[in-house]
Amino acid sequence: MTDIAKQLSIALDSVLDPVSGQGLFTSGRAPAPRFADGIVTVIIDVTDINADKRALVEADVNLALKAIEGVQDVRVAMTSTRTTRRIIAVGSGKGGVGKSTLSANLAVSLARRGMRVGLIDADIYGPSQPRLLGAEGRKPTATDEKKLVPVQTEYGIGMLSMGQLVKPGQAIAWRGPMAGNALGQLIDADWGETETLIVDLPPGTGDVQLTMIQKYKPAGAVIVSTPQDLALIDARRAINLLTEADVPIIGLVENMAGYQCPECGAISDPFGTGGAEAAAQELGYDFLGRIPLELGIRTASDEGIPPAASGGPGADAFNAVAGKLTDWIAR
């Protein structure tokens, strides 16, 4: 190593990595600088460093290297080579089983546990997350690179949905490839320090699901079903699609499981009971829990107040499922 190269490496190592606290060179954050014709070139991996700290690192590197005799200019290239964000898909294969309500409450519950969570409403044709999270009428902004910036909700999570990008009530009449491209814009948005993205999938096993699997393979999937046989048939189709693509099934959730009469207290099962749990056992997957059929869940959701945040009806059930999801992520 030449004298100038040694000086440059020492100077680079005097700038601390914000994550590990070690020098940029020692931590492996940056290789030895390149020097030619008075110009120093430095490549720094900034994947898990936020924008403010990136700017500080760049300024400190410039200051340290320009102090060396013979250095006329410093060029800093920031790269992102390590992907740390995980995607958790919530699907069913069938509409009307409560995927969106579960997705919203899982995201809120995870955020309340200290996780940095984002929520994507991937139901391009029938978005509902803006209503569920009380964010109707709020539009995402965009970066200079034309990446969407998620709307920050009052529940501690960022959220993106096609419902934020079109007029209320407007029909989205797109062919499959356009829906797949829309999903890409939502996932490739500027999610900042978000660690986990909860993706609320549309019904079925169509273009959005295929785009998700092929381009943005989830770390795992939560499958939602009502107890009735018809819903479980469609849920099995969704499971088959995901497992064929080697997407781990985190477990099954049984929604609309049991209704308690508010007047007499009697419990009935209009959609049956235990079907999702039995299917999970049969297929060898974890059963994550039951969400009751409660009027309070519906009214709170219509008002944009997720029960997991308010402690309202169903909060314990949503939080119990989120707890099992947290355990899975930790493992």
pLDDT of residue 104: 96
Task: Identify whether the C-beta of residue 122 lies closer than 8 Å to the C-beta of residue 160.
Answer: no
97 is in an annotated binding site: yes
Is 94 marked as binding a ligand? yes
3-state secondary structure of 215: helix
Whole-number percent of the chain with pLDDT over 90: 40
pLDDT value, residue 218: 93
Q: What is the 3-state secondary structure (H, E, C) of 19-84?
A: CCCCECCCCCCCCCCEEECCEEEEEEECCCCCHHHHHHHHHHHHHHHHCCCCCCEEEEEEECCCCC
Phi and psi (nearest 5°) for 13? Answer: -75, -10
Instruction: Give the pLDDT score at 16.
Output: 92
Distance CA 309, CA 224 (A): 21
Q: What is the pLDDT of residues 125-140, one digit of tens each?
A: 888 899 999 988 888 9
pLDDT tens per residue, range 184-203: 889 999 999 898 999 999 88
Counting residues of the chain whose pLDDT is more than 70, the rounded percentage is 90
Supply the DSSP symbol for 249.
E
Residue with the two structure tokens 């309340």:
112
- Confirm whether residue 93 is marked as ligand binding: yes
Specify whether the CB–CB gap between 203 and 95 falls below 8 A.
yes
Could you read off the pLDDT of 99-114 as tens digits, one per residue? 999 999 999 999 998 8
pLDDT at 82: 45
Helix (H, G, I), strand (E, B) or coil at 203: coil
Question: Does the pLDDT value for residue 22 go beyond 60?
Answer: yes
What pLDDT does residue 329 have?
86
* SS3 assignment, position 132: helix
> Is 206 known as a binding-site position?
no
Is 176 assigned a ligand-binding role in the annotation?
no
Distance CA 242, CA 240 (A): 5
> Tens digit of pLDDT for each residue in 166-184?
766 666 666 667 777 888 8
pLDDT: is 141 or 176 the higher one? 141
Residue 215 annotated as lining a ligand binding site: no
| Residue 146 tokens, joined | 């034309």
Question: What would the pLDDT profile of 205-246 be if each residue is shown by its tens digit?
Answer: 778 888 888 888 899 999 998 887 666 888 888 899 999 989
What pTM value is reported for the model? 0.71
> Domains of the chain (ranges plus CATH)?
3-79 (3.30.300.130), 86-330 (3.40.50.300)
Has 158 been labeled as part of a binding site?
no
Q: What residues form DSSP beta bridges with 36?
A: 39
Residue 148, strand partner residues:
142
